[in-house]
Every structure is written in structure tokens, then in C-alpha cells.
Amino acid sequence: MSIFVDVALPAAVRKQFTYHVPENLEPSVQAGQRVWIPFRNYYAIGVIVAVHQKKPSFRTKPIRKILDEEPILSKELLDVTRWISKFYYASWGETIQAALPAGLNFISRKYLNISEDLDDQNLSEDEKEIIEDLKDNKSTLDEAKKRWKGTGLNKVFSKLLKDRKIEIWEEPDLKVTVATEREWIWATGKDKRAAIEFLESEGVNEDLKWTSALAQIAEEIPVRQSEIPDDSVFTSYTLKKLQDEGWITYREVEKQNEIEHLEFEPDSIKTLNEGQQKAFEQIQSSLSKKEFSNYLLFGITGSGKTEVYIHALKQVIEQGKGGIVLVPEIALTPQTVSRFYRIFGDNIAMLHSRMSSRERLQAWQDLNSGKKKIAIGPRSAVFAPVQNLGIIILDEEHDSSYKQMDPAPRYHARETALVRAKMNDAIVIMGSATPSMQALNIAAKGKCELLELKKRHANAMLPEVKILDLKQYKGKPMRGEFAVPLYQAMEKAMENDEQIILLYNRRGYASYLQCEDCGHIPESPESSVSLTFHKRKNLLMDHYTGYSRRKDTECENCGSPNLKVQGSGTQNIEEQLEDLFPDAKVIRFDRDSTSRKGAHERILKEFGEGKADILIGTQLVAKGLDFPNVTVVGVVNADTELAFPSFQATERMYQLLSQVSGRSGRGDKPGTVFLQTRQPDNPALIFAKNHDHRGFAKQEMEFRKPLYYPPYSRLIKFELKSAKGHEVNMAAHALKDSAERVVPDVPVLGPSPAAIPWMNKKYIWEVTMKIDTQKGGSYIEALLDKILEVYEADIKGKFSSVRVNVNVDGIQ
């Protein structure tokens, strides 16, 4: 009886392909292996997702080669990826690809081989040259052709190919590349002494930048490119000049693993305080039962959630099992990560975006082989091949980075963690000081157990939060962007050698209108989201429903004509600080200042060591930092988030303010927080001021319920893209129409242009539908299949330029 396999390919097609297994391969074939298969007119790599004996009605082709001795995906991870592909409507293959490190990818290359029965004697000189070349260099077809370009050898090559003296051999590209970088070293014959002598005799010439660069590099060489700070005298210009002058040269060296740089002093596990102990005991009870359970650890900032995670994880490890710790973004949370390292050391495999593919493959293999038992990483670490999984911890559960937006699979790590834990009888701990509405809703329905930590550790106090109404501080009482009370608090903190964190919020594209007199931001009458201002069209738009109107000339709330366009252009706060506090040392922490590898860690380390007075940054500074000496936190512009065109804006702002406030007064000195706003009465601000997450959540839920917004419904967002504006517009209408016909009782919103309506030369439109949260993956899959089928039938091949992406839970 023949054996068949179903193979998933890393393409967007939501379908598997069936092949038969040649007899000689039958003994070794297993689900989870990669295979090399003929596909259309080429070969492709896929993953076997099922082995069976059901003969299909069509004639099958044979698989050509099995690429792995052992499956690279366990049955469990096959099941998890299968679930994702249904629930989030992605292809199984692309989901599998997202779950695997790049080193285990699906890509293939064409190589050149010399035919086995080649007779060297009968070759021409040119032919010999090619054969010798190929013997020396294993080449891909592309590489070889490039090498021979312009030499006339390509023609000879074509003949060799035709005569079958050379063969093209397609092979999976499983090679993992080594990431390298430049290391600057002395040129031959040059050294520090020579440089100093030269500089002493010639002098540092102000007009010749490279001479001062030489003076400095003499101290630092050898230096890696990644170690050169952004603001140093070493620019690409001075480095080139130093090279041209014959002082320095470089060699390519393998990039260093960031983690090896970090020093982790081992630490013993802390004794839990009373509140922590109570929470831990509950978790312990289900750990001993070895069955699935789900906890929401709702603990205020600084209450010691991390210690609870560590104790739970330790228990799991002692049971001989493994665990996954998910954090919003490794580079932003070095402090949290280091606390795990200090306890679990070598048992941890870190997975993160700035690692080279080789490092990631190594981490993956260490987990897969069971050599390491703990994976720490961002969203995608939810797929880590941890053996005998006992626990998944989601730190900062509310963080939006847990949802993948693009490309597919557009999964959420929280949902995935729950499904994976169920399959393994493992437990999940979702921790946050400001749990998401989703998590609170799960708890309210009794589907997870709520554990609360209501006090900061060691009686540290929550900071006092002061709301500064910028409408009251016009003109004189402002020092640049800072209202006087914030300015004075900063001054005082620095006198006392305490530190300051400043948040200036930046939302990139979203311009909005705000009344200077009452602080009002115009909202859509149709969806209660803020209207975005479009300068070119002079329109206020609701990207959610498609509503738009001409820019207001007076405030709809108070009638004032003083409407100001906000949110565009960032003031240079850093420069202002230099003027206001010339002696202060300021460090900036945002995407620009931290693009270099290791920069996050360096900046945070310096700040932690007290080498700077003020840390200023974007949303990044709100996440999980623990600096006991910080006593003042200032939010320069609290309103930006409110203007974001989403019904989630309030929640996001509240989250941000609560989280950033939580950075203040974590040590033995009490802290203060200043929120600068033009909407001092906004409930989200008041709740943040009062540290009242429950109150906030209650109000937010009451707002969402009658509107049937998540968590009461699930939003499925269709995103349509095309370079042709009219096609995408018509296609979006057709899609809405199809959805309404398939499910007449389900509300469908839109179509409307996206919040960013034009990007990468494509127009983007959206259609959103609200479905019942009880519906699972099979329902969603069938529903979307049906809608897209009706849509395809409707448009009859028109609008071929339009791509439709589906994003389940696209808005939370």
C-alpha cells in the first residue's frame, strides 16, 4: 500500500499538496520533516504536515528527498501552527515558517555540479577553465554566471550544460550565514606611538577633521563598527580619510552576540513577601496537579510580579519541565531579562530579533534537544521548541507588540500561548499592572484565575501624580515645553542627585485638531474615534467608518476659533533641556538613538549607574524600567495618544501614563509624576492619576459594550491594497457587499480608507466586521472562505491589482 504525505508550502495559498512517498523513503518519512518536492515547473521545499494512506483522486508525484532525519516540528507545534492558520486565516506553510528560525527556512538555490562521468581529456581550453573553476568553488548558478560575465565563458558554459557535462542541481538553501562587521585596526607599520609622534610634530589641525579623529582612534583601536557611538568624530568620512592617509584599515569579523556582553552576576532567589507568597501558592497548586490553568497576575507597578514568575518557573524546572517567558521586546527589557539570567543562567536560550540567524538557530537547537529548558523572547518565542512545556509567562500582557500585524500569520501571542498551554497541560501566567480589556474579560468570565498584588514591595509608595493643565500655563509660566511645576521639580531632583524620566510622545503620521481653549479633539459622530486631519484635502476623517468633513473653523465644543493642528513635527525637547539645564547630562532613548546593536543596554546601563540626570524618550521609556533613583517622571504631551484614530486610544493613553508613572519612586524615595495636558478632566487621566485601573476598566467596558466593540466582539479587518485607487475602492465595496450577503446579521463597517491611506505606493482601504467571541477557528475559517469565495465570484476577475489581507483581531 502506498504512503502519501500532505505538504505545506511557505506561500499564501491556504491549502496543502499531496505527494506519494517512493518505497525507499518510506521507512524514514515522518510528519514535521522538510521535503524537497517537484512543484509546478520547479522544485520547492515544504514541510510534511501529515503522513497517511488515503489515495487522492488525482495522479500524485513523488517526493524527491527528505531533508531532515528527525522532524524539525513536533506534533505539538504542528497542531499549534494548524490552529493559528485556521483562527488567523493564514496558510499553514507561512505559519510554520514564522515558527521556525531563519536557519531552518524553506528557500532553495540552484548549484552547478560537474557531471560524474565527465571525461577531462576531450575538453577545450575554455571548457577546462570552467571545470577547474567549478572544482575550486562550489557555486550557485547566479554566482558562476556573474563571475564569467564578459569573458565569453558563459557561452562555453551553455554548451557544457547542453552536453550534460555540467548539471544544475537545486538544493535547499539551509546554509546559515555568519553576520560580520568591520573592525578597525592599525594599518601595517602604524601604531599608537607613531600616531602620537605624528600628532605632536604636526599638531591637531582644526581644519582637518581626521587629525582629531586620529587622536581619538589611537586610544580606542581596535574598535568594531558597532562600538562607535553615533555622535563621535568617526564618521564614514573621517574613517575613509584615515584609511586613505594610510593610518588604519579594517578586517571583517563575526558579529558578537549581544548577550555575551551583558554580565550577569548570579543571584539567589528572593524570599517572597506575603502578597507574592499568596499568589504563588495558588499557582503552585495547579502546578502540582499538572493540568492546564490560566492566571492573570494583576499587580501594580513595582509590586514584584517578576519574582512571582521566577518562583513559578523554578518550580516547573524542578519538575523536569521547561518554560517560555514572553516579554514585549528583549532590547527594551534588559532588566527583566537579566533577572531571569541571574537565577537560571545557562538554562536560558534567548531568542530575539537582533541576533544573527546563526545565533537564533543555535538557541533553537539548544531548546529542541532539551539542552536548555527556558526560552525568553518577544512574540515569536511562543513557538520556541521547549521540550515538555510546563509554563508560559506573558509579562506586560497588555502590550500591543504581542499581536503580529504584518505579514501573515497575524497571530496574537496571548491566544497562541493559551492554546499551546492547553495542548500541553501547562499553565499560563499573564502579568500586568494594567491588564488589557481582553484579559479582564477572560477573568470576568471565570476563564482564568485572578491573582492580585496590591502593594509595592517593601512599602515603596506609588508616586503622586499631578495633572498640569497646559491651558492654564500659557506664555510666561512655561519654560519651553515644560510648565513651571514640572520644571521646578526637575530642578529640585537634580539638586538632590535624583534622576528624571521624560516622555515625549510621538505618533508619527497622525495629525489632529485640538482646541487651544478647551482642549477638545474632534471625534467622529459615527464611531467615537478621533478624527485625523488631512492637510492636503483639508479634511477631518474617520478611518474607521469612512466619515469625513471639512476642517472645522471653530471648536464644536466651546466655539473658540483657536484650533491648532497638533501631532506633526516633533519639537526638539532635547535641545530645550540643554538651554534650560546647561549642567544636566541628558540621554535620549528612542528608535533613532538605539538603532545600533547593544545601544539600548548601554543607554540603560549608563542611566542606571547614575551617569545621566535625565532620560528622555518616546513610548520606550514607559516599559518595565526599574531605576530606584528616579523620583520625577514628566509626560510632556499626554494628549497625543488620545488623537489616535481608534476606539482604543483612551486605553492606550491610560496604559502609557500608568506605565510611565510606574517608573517613579520605586526605591526608598517617594516619586512624583507630572502629566501635561489640555484635557485635564479626561477620565483616563484621572484614573491614571488615582492608580485606579479597575475604575478605568469598568468605564472602558461600559463604553465598549453598547457599541459591541472588543472584548465583547472580535473584529476581523480586511485590508485591501492596490496601486490603483479606483480599483481598491470598488473592490472594498464589493467585499463589504459579499460579507453582508454571507452573514446578514453580522455588523460590517466601512469600507473606508485606512488610517494611513497610501503607503509604499499603494492605496489602502479597510472593511471591518464584528463577530461573536465564542466562535472558534473552524467557524472563522469557514466564514472567511465563504466571504472570499462570494467576493471572487462577484468581481469575476476584475480588480486583479487588488490584494486582500485578513486580520483577525486586527483591532483589539
Residues that bind ligand ADP (CB under 6 A): 270-273, 276, 299, 301-307, 457, 626
Pick what 304 binds: ligand ADP, Zn ion, none; C-beta below 5 to 8 Å, kind-dependent: ligand ADP
Pick what 177 binds: Zn ion, ligand ADP, none; C-beta below 5 to 8 Å, kind-dependent: none
CA distances from 35 to 8, 49, 67, 129, 377 (A): 10, 11, 5, 35, 29
Nearest alpha-carbon partner for 11 in 110, 111, 107: 107
Kindly tell me which of 450 and 478 has the beta carbon lying closer to ligand ADP: 450
CB of 605 to ligand ADP, least distance (A): 16
Kindly tell me which of 306 and 812 has the beta carbon lying closer to ligand ADP: 306
Nearest alpha-carbon partner for 314 in 369, 397, 265, 374: 374
Pick what 557 binds: Zn ion, ligand ADP, none; C-beta below 5 to 8 Å, kind-dependent: Zn ion
Pick what 182 binds: Zn ion, ligand ADP, none; C-beta below 5 to 8 Å, kind-dependent: none
Pick what 305 binds: ligand ADP, Zn ion, none; C-beta below 5 to 8 Å, kind-dependent: ligand ADP
CB of 398 to Zn ion, least distance (A): 32
Pick what 780 binds: Zn ion, ligand ADP, none; C-beta below 5 to 8 Å, kind-dependent: none
Gyration radius of the chain over CA positions: 30
Kindly tell me which of 86 and 666 has the beta carbon lying closer to ligand ADP: 666
Pick what 307 binds: ligand ADP, Zn ion, none; C-beta below 5 to 8 Å, kind-dependent: ligand ADP
234-248 per-residue burial string, b: 16 or more CB within 10 A, e: under 16: beeebbebbeeeebb
Kindly tell me which of 273 and 388 has the beta carbon lying closer to ligand ADP: 273
CB of 555 to Zn ion, least distance (A): 3
CB of 272 to ligand ADP, least distance (A): 5
Kindly tell me which of 305 and 714 has the beta carbon lying closer to ligand ADP: 305
Kindly tell me which of 661 and 679 has the beta carbon lying closer to Zn ion: 679
Pick what 560 binds: ligand ADP, Zn ion, none; C-beta below 5 to 8 Å, kind-dependent: Zn ion
CB of 522 to Zn ion, least distance (A): 10
Pick what 782 binds: ligand ADP, Zn ion, none; C-beta below 5 to 8 Å, kind-dependent: none
Q: State residue 365 phi and psi, 5-degree precision.
A: -65, -35
Pick what 276 binds: Zn ion, ligand ADP, none; C-beta below 5 to 8 Å, kind-dependent: ligand ADP
CB of 396 to ligand ADP, least distance (A): 9
Cα–Cα distance between 227 and 602 in angstroms, integer?
A: 10
Cβ-proximal residues to 477 (8 Å cutoff; 6+ apart), any chain: 483, 484
CB of 301 to ligand ADP, least distance (A): 5
Expressed in percent and rounded to 5, the helix, strand and coil fractions of the chain are 35, 25, 40
CB of 695 to ligand ADP, least distance (A): 20
Pick what 272 binds: Zn ion, ligand ADP, none; C-beta below 5 to 8 Å, kind-dependent: ligand ADP
List of E strands, 508-629 = 512-515, 532-534, 539-541, 548-550, 563-566, 586-589, 614-617
Kindly tell me which of 271 and 774 has the beta carbon lying closer to ligand ADP: 271
Pick what 515 binds: Zn ion, ligand ADP, none; C-beta below 5 to 8 Å, kind-dependent: Zn ion
Nearest alpha-carbon partner for 36 in 45, 48, 28, 47: 45
Nearest alpha-carbon partner for 97 in 136, 44, 164, 152: 44
Written as nine digits, the cell of 761 is 505606493
For cell 466619515, what's the residue?
A: 547
| Bridge-based pairing state of the strands 348-350 and 374-377 | parallel
Nearest alpha-carbon partner for 118 in 99, 133, 101, 131: 131
338: enclosing H helix or E strand: helix 334-344
Q: Are 255 and 179 in contact (CB under 8 A)?
A: yes
Kindly tell me which of 204 and 269 has the beta carbon lying closer to ligand ADP: 269
Pick what 518 binds: Zn ion, ligand ADP, none; C-beta below 5 to 8 Å, kind-dependent: Zn ion
Q: Which residues pair with 503 in a beta bridge?
A: 617, 635
Nearest residue to the partner ligand ADP, using Cβ: 304
Kindly tell me which of 115 and 282 has the beta carbon lying closer to ligand ADP: 282
Kindly tell me which of 520 and 600 has the beta carbon lying closer to Zn ion: 520
CB of 554 to Zn ion, least distance (A): 8
How many whole angstroms from its chain centre is CA 614? 27
CB of 339 to ligand ADP, least distance (A): 7
Kindly tell me which of 307 and 399 has the beta carbon lying closer to ligand ADP: 307
CB of 345 to ligand ADP, least distance (A): 18
Kindly tell me which of 302 and 409 has the beta carbon lying closer to ligand ADP: 302
Kindly tell me which of 133 and 626 has the beta carbon lying closer to ligand ADP: 626
End-to-end CA distance of the chain: 50
What is the SS3 assignment for 113?
A: strand
Written as nine digits, the cell of 263 is 554580565
Number of other CB atoms surrounding residue 534 within 10 Å: 15
Determine if the peptide bond prior to 172 is cis (ω within 30°): no
Kindly tell me which of 401 and 557 has the beta carbon lying closer to Zn ion: 557
CB of 662 to ligand ADP, least distance (A): 7
CB of 661 to ligand ADP, least distance (A): 12
Q: Are 376 and 347 in contact (CB under 8 A)?
A: no
Determine if the peptide bond prior to 525 is cis (ω within 30°): no
For cell 518616546, what's the residue?
A: 618
Pick what 299 binds: Zn ion, ligand ADP, none; C-beta below 5 to 8 Å, kind-dependent: ligand ADP
Q: Which residues contact Zn ion by CB under 5 A?
A: 515, 517-518, 520, 555, 557-558, 560
Pick what 159 binds: Zn ion, ligand ADP, none; C-beta below 5 to 8 Å, kind-dependent: none
Residue 569, phi-psi category: left (phi > 0), alpha (psi -120 to 50), beta (remainder) = left
Cα–Cα distance between 65 and 572 in angstroms, integer?
A: 59
CB of 467 to ligand ADP, least distance (A): 23
Kindly tell me which of 276 and 631 has the beta carbon lying closer to ligand ADP: 276
Pick what 520 binds: ligand ADP, Zn ion, none; C-beta below 5 to 8 Å, kind-dependent: Zn ion
Kindly report the CA angle at 15 between 10 and 17, in degrees rounded to 5?
Answer: 85
Cβ-proximal residues to 775 (8 Å cutoff; 6+ apart), any chain: 714, 783
CB of 516 to Zn ion, least distance (A): 8
Say which amino acid occupies 721. Answer: K
What is the SS3 assignment for 356?
A: coil
CB of 317 to ligand ADP, least distance (A): 19
Determine if the peptide bond prior to 222 is cis (ω within 30°): yes
Cα–Cα distance between 332 and 329 in angstroms, integer?
A: 5
Kindly report the CA angle at 282 between 281 and 285, in degrees rounded to 5?
Answer: 85
Q: State residue 328 phi and psi, 5-degree precision.
A: -55, -50
Pick what 506 binds: ligand ADP, Zn ion, none; C-beta below 5 to 8 Å, kind-dependent: none
Cα–Cα distance between 764 and 128 in angstroms, integer?
A: 56
Kindly tell me which of 228 and 615 has the beta carbon lying closer to ligand ADP: 615
CB of 721 to ligand ADP, least distance (A): 40
Kindly tell me which of 227 and 516 has the beta carbon lying closer to Zn ion: 516
For cell 588604519, what's the residue?
A: 248
395: enclosing H helix or E strand: none
